[in-house]
Structure 1
Amino acid sequence: MNAERVPVIVGVGDLKFTGDGTAQSAIEPLDLVLRAVNAAIEDTGAPGLSAQLDAIHAVRTTSWNYADLPALVAERLGVTLTSSSSSTIGGHHPARLLDQVGRDIAEGRTTAALVVGGEAQASVRAMTKAGVDPGESGWTTVPGGPPSFSPEDLGSAEMQRAGILAPVQIYPLFENARAHSRGLNPDQGMRESADMYSRFSAIAAEHPVAWSPVARTPEDIGTVSSSNRSVSDCYPLSMNAMPFVDQAAAAMVCSLATAREAGVAEDRIVYLWGGAGAVDNPDVLARPVFDDAPALRAAVRRALSRAEVASEDLAFVDAYSCFPIVPNLLADELGLAEGATPTVLGGHSFFGGPLSSYSLHAIAESTRLLRKNSGVALVHANGGYLTYQHVVLLSTRAHRDGYIGDPEQVTVSGTPARVVHGYSGTATIETATVTYDRSGLPEQAFVVAATDDGARVAGRAGHEFATTLHDLVSVQNESAVGRRIDLVDSEGNLAVDFCM
């Protein structure tokens, strides 16, 4: 094994910034990222190593736009880059970029690299409420400025027609389909998620960077109240990601030879074995089923197979956890025991949800945990709607084959469903959910149904059917999946009644 081609993590840093909630105490994402970078460099114990940086890769910052964040960081550090990139939006990118850096080092293209990411959505929110323009307050505008989005960020044409676009509408569709397939009624599904998130909150309560470091009981999390309003039928507010945070993270990676030459202590070195990725059809409504995540399964299996390890060999697991369905699906795939806690951070609801960069914090924490313990850690990262999946494996020991990852994602989309428009007739619900207004009243229902000839109809129904569906699920404690309905589709607006 050539030490010059073995990638290792030598420094990590992550932080939160808690001002007083006013526009005057707001902080720019770039400043947060630079603080994390400086912490990662200090964490190496070899400050001179930063002079060898020749690559910086940035996870997309959503709260403020930077045309070239790596260049801004490099300028502040006084280093010249031979390689850099900025990702698009997507929570899978921290793991993918780390995997890419590992391959670049293994192939001799990079000497030392940083992977960075950060969000200041709490600061942006405070400034917006105060009517303060961040650009006029000194935030970077060239290159940079307010965030921008493309129409593609809103979802596919079919998703836009159906009005099924937001995370709070889509992830519950997967949750309710999975619960039904496992024989769980709505109360049992809610309890499963609440129990897991209670354990997550206990982890966050001990983490110095957690945004909401308070341990909560399953009852706190699963019971609707004035402080825990209904967002969807299966997820009260405390089961939804908390994006209004000011958090940043950075990881410094180099070759084993470079680390040793720079004087990095052996107990600071964590081996980046590598990982694997997969991508499903970005059009959620074209996917064949809603109770499974083929891309997640493919990414996990490819990574474990390439490393020749089994799930029981993993000392630490961190699941991307914007909603409970994601860690539940990862736990299913890994065969984790009931009551397992697949997080090192505490999840988006309690640690905080700094959008695309969440899993970079998990990489930082996994590195710290491995330094204190022996074993292998798996960090899972999710982008889109269970669309883009990437996992990476870290260890206290070198893999006998050095870097064993593959950062290129494989496509696992099955035969797409045939979505039809203008349908009128009977159908069977494949999955459905209710969303609520801020007062807690049923507002809309989102329905995906199969026609008798195997086609699919998808759309939204108004308050009347949302109330009916709420009564079925939340009052009668019965799943809507598998129910027969009469429906009429008009441009994605559905008139729906349960068959008698």
Structure 2
Amino acid sequence: MRDEVRPVLVGVGQVRGNRERTVAGAREPLELMLDAVRSAAADAGVPGLLAQADSVATVYVASWAYDEPAARVAARIGARPTRLVDSPVGGQWPSRLVEDAAAAIAAGESRVALIASAEALASVGALRKAGVDPVDAGWSTDPGGPPPYRGTMGAPAMHASGLLPPTRVYPLFENALRHARGETPEQAAASAAELYAAFTAVAAGNDAAWNPQVRTAADIAAVGPGNRMICEPYPLAVNAMPHVDQAAAVIVTSLAAAREAGIAPERIVHIRGGAGADDAGDVVARPGFASSAALASVLDRALAGIDPAELDVVEVYSCFPVVPKLIAAHLGLPLTALAGVTGGHNAFGGPLSSYTLHSYVAVAQRLRAGARLALVHGNGGYLTYEHATVLARDPHPDGYTGDPVPRDTAGAAPPMAAVPDGADVTVETATVEYGRDGAPAQGFLIGRTADGARFAVATAPGDTASAHRLSLFPDGPGGAGREIVGRTVRVTAKDGHAVIEEPA
């Protein structure tokens, strides 16, 4: 492959801001993003490279509203790109944008591309707590304020059953997976805690990490006032931490452009290519909850011809433990082999759609330090949108081998049923959400009727008796766990919710 169409990553940068959450330290996302962009140019060793960008892309910013942020970034760096991209919501987008940049270079349509992201939810919260309007603190007003939602989130059945917050949905996959593996709640929690403890050790060495404190697996698994249960079986310490101020940027060029710019060979990381896949947007209509067809598709295609054991770095999305658990199982690797080099969504921080761009920063740094081969994975929606790429110190003999157009992996939905009234049903999967008082507050059930049809329903908020009947921990978190998947319960419809009782 000619150097003119061989994509490489040449500059990476990231910043952390206002960890102290002060009003004086509150800076808007665009300014953080520009700091990361300048850092990426400095990392490449060619600050003037930014003005040559013919493509500028930004990841969706959820903490402040901007009209055409990619165009704003281009104007600030003196670039006149022919391609501007502002992504919608989704944790897969950093990986897809890097892949799109690589594919455009491989097609001869681009030479220098910039991808950037930023969030400042910590500062937004600090200003709100102090009663300060961000505009009065100097934040931009075009348009400013809370951004409009740009993405797809949830289908009618999910809305009706309250299955919209990811904190409620991912535990449904976790509990189904645990049951399929024959694990007890304690075993599943212990493996998750071990991985997330490993994440904290990684984050402690990352200058941009939000929580650079090493924690033990026992600490992460222990549910208490500082680590309350969110939705079973996930305590706070294994949930993503979105209230952060973090920004990242990467510069992708052709190998020829990198050489013309005088970029040192040891700074160059090759983008071999990757793959994307989309599953059904309606979680309730998925064929099952113990696997992910989209995830399997991108891993198999991105790693075609590569033995997972050859990977020096496996950097995966970790908004909730079930994602790395599914990846480790599919790759045949021990779960702790997925600790990666960034630090995970809780310890490093989970800046909403942009976490994976930070992964590219950390992976590039590790490859420059001696690693040879790495996998970077991004996840969006509810195990809905997947993308993975392979980076390497050395080029692939065939150059860029990506398969960037996402494949539709949605399987056939099972027969669906209305919420039964006064019927005994089988629990396919379930979770219980806890209040800030540490007590069960609401249950969420996906069940099967006697004839095999699926339905989804929530118990009424405050119906602790019904929530308790769906709980993994009848004596409370910290007590002995029990199996709930596969159990029979009686469902009675009441005012749009369900009362859960013991079967007749």
Question: In structure 1, the residue corresponding to 2:9 is in which secondary structure?
Answer: strand
Distance 1:85 1:212, change over 3 A: same
Over 3 Å counting, the alpha-carbon distance change for 1:313 and 1:98 in structure 2 is same
Instruction: Say whether the 8 Å CA contact 2:135–2:144 is kept in structure 1.
Output: no
Q: 1:491 to 1:11 in 2, by over 3 A?
A: farther
Which residue identity lines up with residue 188 of structure 1 in the other structure? Q
Alignment check: 8 A CA contact 2:153 2:381 kept = no
Which one-letter code corresponds to 1:107 in the other structure?
A: A
- Cα distance in 1 between the residues matched to 2:198 and 2:85: 36
Deviates more, 1:180-189 or 1:490-499: 490-499
Q: CA deviation at 1:123?
A: 0.5
Query: What pairs up with 1:417-428 in 2 under 5 angstroms?
Result: 417-424=414-421, 425-428=423-426
Quick one: which amino acid aligns to residue 455 of structure 1?
A: A
Contact 2:19 2:210 in 1 (8 A): no
Map 1:123-138 → 2, pairs under 5 A: 123-138=123-138
Q: Does 1:312 align with 2:309?
A: yes
2:337 is matched with which residue? Answer: 340
What amino acid is aligned across from residue 126 of structure 1 in structure 2? A
Q: Does 1:187 align with 2:186?
A: yes
* Displacement after TM superposition at 1:131 (Å): 1.8
Work out the CA distance in 2 between the residues paired with 1:198 and 1:66.
Answer: 36
Q: Provide the C-alpha distance between the structure 2 equivalents of 1:404 and 1:456, rounded to a whole number of angstroms.
A: 41
Structure 1 residue aligned with 2:373? 376
Aligned to 2:258: 259
Name the aligned partner's letter for residue 32 of structure 2: L
Which deviates more, 473-482 or 24-33?
473-482
TM (norm. structure 1) is 0.97
Give the conservation status (yes or no) of the 8 Å contact 1:3–1:257.
yes
| Distance 1:478-1:229 versus aligned 2 partners, 3 A rule | same
Pick from 485, 500, 503: which aligns with 1:499? Answer: 503
| Residues 325, 335 of structure 2: 8 Å contact kept | no
Moved more, 322-331 or 14-23: 14-23
The 8 Å contact of residues 115 and 250 in structure 1, kept in 2 or not, is answered as yes
Q: For this pair of structures, how many residues does the alignment match? A: 497
Q: Which deviations, in whole Å up to 9, do the C-alpha atoms of 1:425-473 show, x marking residues without a partner?
A: 1211010111100010100011100112121111111321112333448
Deviation at 1:416, TM superposition (A): 1.1
Q: 1:396 aligns with which of 370, 393, 397?
A: 393
1:235-292 Cα distance to aligned partner (Å, 9 max, x none): 1111111101000000001000010011001000000111100011011101011111
Q: What is the CA–CA distance in structure 1 between the aligned matches of 2:489 and 2:143, rounded to whole Å?
A: 53
Aligned to 1:211, the other structure's residue is in SS state coil
- Distance in 2 (alpha carbons) for counterparts of 1:147 and 1:460: 29
Matched position secondary structure for 1:349: helix
Quick check: 1:459–1:489 contact (8 Å CA) kept in 2?
Answer: no
Per the alignment, residue 17 of structure 2 pairs with 17
Inter-partner Cα distance in structure 1 for 2:371 and 2:234: 36
Report the Cα distance in structure 2 between the residues aligned to 1:92 and 1:417, rounded to whole angstroms: 27
Note the residue ranges of structure 1 that are not aligned, 5 or more in a row.
none
1:450 matched to which residue of 2?
A: 448
Does residue 292 (structure 1) correspond to residue 315 (structure 2)? The answer is no
- Write the distance in 2 (CA, Å) between the matches of 1:333 and 1:491: 42
The CA RMSD over aligned residues, in Å, is 1.5
Amino acid at match of 1:372: A
| Deviation, structure 1 residue 32 | 0.4
The alpha carbon displacement at 1:341 in A equals: 3.4
Contact 2:92 2:387 in 1 (8 A): yes
Aligned to 1:155: 154
Q: String of CA shifts for 1:334-374, please: whole Å, max 9, x gaps.
A: 11125423321111110000000000000111001001114
Partner of 2:55: 55
Structure 2: distance between partners of 1:79 and 1:56: 9
CA distance, structure 1, for counterparts of residue 286 and residue 447 of structure 2: 13
Assess, with a 3 A threshold, how the Cα gap between structure 1 residues 468 and 426 changes in structure 2: closer, same or farther: closer
> Are 1:479 and 2:483 counterparts?
yes
Q: Distance in 2 between matches of 1:279 and 1:187?
A: 32
CA distance in 2, matches of 1:108, 1:404: 14
Q: C-alpha displacement at 1:330, in angstroms? A: 1.0
CA deviation profile, 1:461-489 (whole Å, cap 9, x unmatched):
13211123334485442110000111123
What is the distance in 1 between the residues matched to 2:48 and 2:26?
Answer: 32
Distance 1:194 1:476 in 2: 17
Q: Distance in 2 between matches of 1:114 and 1:491?
A: 52
Task: Give the Cα–Cα distance (whole angstroms) in 2 for the partners of residues 422 and 434 of structure 1.
Answer: 18
Amino acid paired to 1:262: A
What's the secondary structure of 2:163's corresponding residue? coil
Shift of 1:154: 4.7
1:415 matched residue in structure 2: 412
CA shift, 1:375, in A, is: 1.4
Tell me which residue corresponds to 1:429.
427
**Contact conserved, 1:472 with 1:479, CA < 8 A, in 2?**
no
- Calculate the TM-score normalised by the size of structure 2: 0.96
1:287 touches 1:414 (CA, 8 Å); kept in 2? yes
* Offset at residue 304 of structure 1 (A): 1.1
1:99 maps onto 2:103 in alignment:
no
CA distance, structure 1, for counterparts of residue 146 and residue 231 of structure 2: 30
CA contact (8 A) 1:483 1:498 kept: no
Q: Distance in 2 between matches of 1:82 and 1:190?
A: 49
Asked whether the 8 Å contact 1:421–1:491 carries over to 2, the reply is no
Change (3 A) 1:422 1:317: closer
The code of the aligned residue for 1:497 comes to: E
Rounded Cα–Cα distance in structure 2 between residues aligned with 1:476 and 1:497? 21
Q: Which moved more, 1:430-439 or 1:12-21?
A: 12-21
Question: Do the aligned partners of 2:195 and 2:335 also contact (CA within 8 Å) in 1?
Answer: no
Alignment partner, residue 301 of structure 2: 302
Unmatched runs of 5 consecutive residues or more in structure 2: none
Matched AA of 1:209: A
Query: How does 1:158-177 map onto structure 2 within 5 Å?
Result: 158-177=157-176
SS of alignment partner, residue 206 of structure 2 = coil
Q: Residue 240 of structure 2 contacts residue 320 of structure 2 at CA under 8 Å; is this kept in 1?
A: yes
- Percent identity of the aligned residues? 44
Of 459-468 and 111-120, more deviation after overlay is shown by: 459-468
CA distance, structure 1, for counterparts of residue 353 and residue 361 of structure 2: 15
CA contact (8 A) 1:61 1:118 kept: yes
Which residue identity does 1:13 align to in structure 2? G
Q: Could you tell me which residue of structure 2 aligns to residue 466 of structure 1?
A: 467
